[in-house]
Amino acid sequence: MDPSLSEFDSFVRTRTPALLRSAYLLTGDQHLAEDLVQSALARTHRSWGRLHHSGNAEAYTRKTMYHLQVSWWRRRRVPESMPGDLPEPRGGDSGPDHAQQTSLRLTLRAALAKLSPKQRAVLVLRFFEDRTEAEAAELLGVTVGTVKSQTAKSLAKLRAVAPELAELYVLEGSTR
């Protein structure tokens, strides 16, 4: 086998799980997450020789993935698949913990669906991937100021569409 292909295989297989998790939060759908990761990886493959030698393959793949997700043409092309209806808020705390956690997850999932792709991307970068504002800005190709403002808007929108989440999270965002 072509050594570079073997190296690319190894890259795909070791990084796919992490990429898929991020893509799932960005799209809210298993199949769209697969499509997104596959599209980003394919672009990485097109430039594998250069990326492999520079050691930037994963950064390039993630950057491509985020750009694909928020780019205007794809936003128009890909129907959002996240279910947009919020589940009924749970009353009291009578249920078992895991049921409460499941309800919370559904609420969060539906609330994320109410955000724009860029707002979702900022949240995922800042609070799931734990990126700094500067790193998020670099990945999205925007300014740090845009990341700050989009983070604030995202959290405000989460608070607006799912007040029960606002009770759980401190939704001012953090600055690093």
Partner 1 sequence: MNDQRLRLDLTDLAEEVTVVDLRDRTLRTSRRLGVQRAVATSAAALVLIAAVTGTAFAIRPNQSPPPLPADTPSVIVTPTPTQSPSPTPSTSTSVAPNSPSGGSGQNTPTAEIGKLFYGPAEVTGAENANLRSWRPGDNPVRLLALPALALKGNVSVSPDGRRVAWVDSDGTSNNLFVANADGSDKQKVRSDVDPYCVTAVWSPDGRQLLFRETKANDAGGPGRYGVLDVRSTARTVRWWTTEPDACHALWSADGQTIAMNTDLGVTLYGTDGTTRRVVPGFSLDGWRSNDVASLSPDGSRIALLRKKSGGDAGDVARDLRVNVVLNTKTGQEIRLPLGGRELRQVYFQTDGSMVVRVQAGNGYAVLLVGEDGQKISETAEPAALKDMQILAVGA
Write the single-letter amino acid at 93: D
User: Least distance to partner 1 from the beta carbon of 92, Å?
Assistant: 18
Span interacting with partner 1, options 51-59, 64-72, 89-97, rule CB under 8 A: 64-72
Q: How far apart are CA 122 and CA 22, in angstroms?
A: 11
> Whose CA is closest to 129, among 34, 84, 81, 65?
65
Interface positions, 39-58, toward partner 1 (CB under 8 A): 39, 41-43, 45-47
127 binds partner 1 (CB under 8 A): yes
136 binds partner 1 (CB under 8 A): no
Which residue's CB is nearer to partner 1, number 54 or number 71?
71
Span interacting with partner 1, options 26-34, 51-59, 89-97, rule CB under 8 A: 26-34
Interface positions, 156-175, toward partner 1 (CB under 8 A): 167-171, 173-174
70 binds partner 1 (CB under 8 A): yes
Site string for partner 1, 79-118 (x = CB under 8 A): xxxxxx----------------x--xx--xx--xx-xxxx
DSSP secondary structure of 129-143: S---HHHHHHHHTS-
Q: How far apart are CA 34 and CA 15, in angstroms?
A: 13
122 Cβ neighbours under 8 A, 6+ residues apart:
136, 140, 147, 150, 151, 154
